[in-house]
Structure 1
Amino acid sequence: MAQKNLLPLILLGLLRDSKKTGYELKKDFDTEIGEFWSVKHSQIYLELKRLTELGEINAVTGFFGSKVEKTYYEITKFGKERFSKWQCSFQNELAVNKDEFVLKLYFIKDKSDERLGQLLKNQYELHLEKLLHLRQRMKDVFSTIDKDNNYGHYLILNHAIKREEEYTQWLDDSLKYISVGEEKNKREYID
């Protein structure tokens, strides 16, 4: 099944509360949205052009308090209607998870495979780093922002933390399991 292009809807959502420049939209992807959605800088501008052509956003270029010319994008009535309609729709299937690490694990047949420990350690370090980052984001964001007025954002961040906690625990357990197997093999070899 073809994957839906959700970028226009994400951009409409980001513009729903205030007008923004392309740079500000990219910053939103680098900080908040990047925790669960990635996009290339060039894709943002292509989509902004399409949304402008569709009449779902307006682009206003000018000098806004500085000597640098900027283009601000703001959502239109049509954009708000499209975003609202999408927000009220439901998915009838789960998203496909494409994970290269999991794919590599699938093809390892033996727990004594020398690549297994390194694969697991590498992922453990990456996920632990991500977990620490997410916990810090929670402190940073919700020490200044009321979570009840940004509850969706809070839920997403909390979900990401729980996901990384579970993932790092699974990796840690897996590393311990193969370590036990390695120790057992060493003892059998010595005996």
Structure 2
Amino acid sequence: MAQKNLLPMILLGLINIEKKTGYDLKKDFETEIGEFWSVKHSQIYLELKRLEGNGEIKSTTGFYGNKIEKTYYEITKKGKERLDSWLDSYSDILSVNKDEFVLKLYFIKSRKDPRLQDLLQEQYRQRKQKLEHLLDRKELLFSTKKERDDNYGHYLILDHAIRREREYVNWLEEMMK
């Protein structure tokens, strides 16, 4: 089954929050959205052209700040309607997690495989590092109740990611014993 292209919805959602440049959107994927969704930089600009061609966003190019030419994108009524329609819909399809580490584990047939411990330890190091990063982000973004309440969906996603990584780290610790 073909995977649904959700990039337009992500971009519409981000632009709906506030006007953004392509660079702003790229930064959002490197920080906030990147915790649960990845995209190539070039895909962002291709999709922005499609959205603009469909009349779902509009762009304004001008000189801002230090007289740097920038193009800002903002959502149109048509784009807002599409975003709202998507937010109101529900999918009964669970997404498939493409995890190279899990795939490699699948092909290791023996507990005595010399690659197993290194694979587990490297994944443990990476997951611990990611967990620490997520905890730092939570402290930075949501240290007060007001900050949590003002962007509750983002808070929930970050909390979910922290719980997922904690469980992953715990599982890895258990498997390395």
TM-score of the superposed pair, with normalisation by structure 1:
0.90
**Which of the pair has more CA radius of gyration?**
1
Partner of 1:11: 11
Partner of 2:59: 59
Task: Report matched runs for 1:127-166 at 5 Å.
Answer: 127-143=127-143, 146-166=147-167
* TM-aligned CA deviation for residue 66 of structure 1: 2.9
Helix, strand or coil at the partner of 1:2:
coil
Helix, strand or coil at the partner of 2:17:
coil
Helix, strand or coil at the partner of 2:110:
coil
Q: Structure 1, residues 3-31: CA drift from partner, whole Å, max 9, x if none? A: 11110110000011211111011111111
Which is worse superposed, 103-112 or 126-135?
103-112
Task: Report matched runs for 1:1-191 at 5 Å.
Answer: 1-143=1-143, 146-176=147-177
Helix, strand or coil at the partner of 1:106:
helix
Distance in 1 between the 2:110 and 2:42 partners? 43
Helix, strand or coil at the partner of 1:16:
helix
Helix, strand or coil at the partner of 2:156:
helix
Distance in 2 between the 1:93 and 1:68 partners? 44
Distance in 1 between the 2:76 and 2:152 partners? 25
Question: How many aligned positions are there?
Answer: 176
Q: Structure 1, residues 76-123: CA drift from partner, whole Å, max 9, x if none? A: 000000000000110111101111111111111111111110010010
Distance in 1 between the 2:104 and 2:18 partners? 43
Distance in 2 between the 1:107 and 1:7 partners? 32
* TM-aligned CA deviation for residue 49 of structure 1: 0.6
Distance in 2 between the 1:107 and 1:95 partners? 22
1:49 is aligned with what amino acid? K
* TM-aligned CA deviation for residue 146 of structure 1: 1.3
Task: Kindly report structure 1 stretches of 4+ aligned residues shifted beyond 3 Å.
Answer: none
Distance in 2 between the 1:32 and 1:13 partners? 13
TM-score of the superposed pair, with normalisation by structure 2:
0.97
Q: CA RMSD in A?
A: 1.0
Structure 2 unaligned residues grouped into runs of 5+: none
Which is worse superposed, 166-175 or 65-74?
65-74
Distance in 2 between the 1:106 and 1:17 partners? 41
Helix, strand or coil at the partner of 1:60:
strand
Distance in 1 between the 2:34 and 2:118 partners? 27
Structure 1 unaligned residues grouped into runs of 5+: 177-191
Aligned sequence identity (%): 66
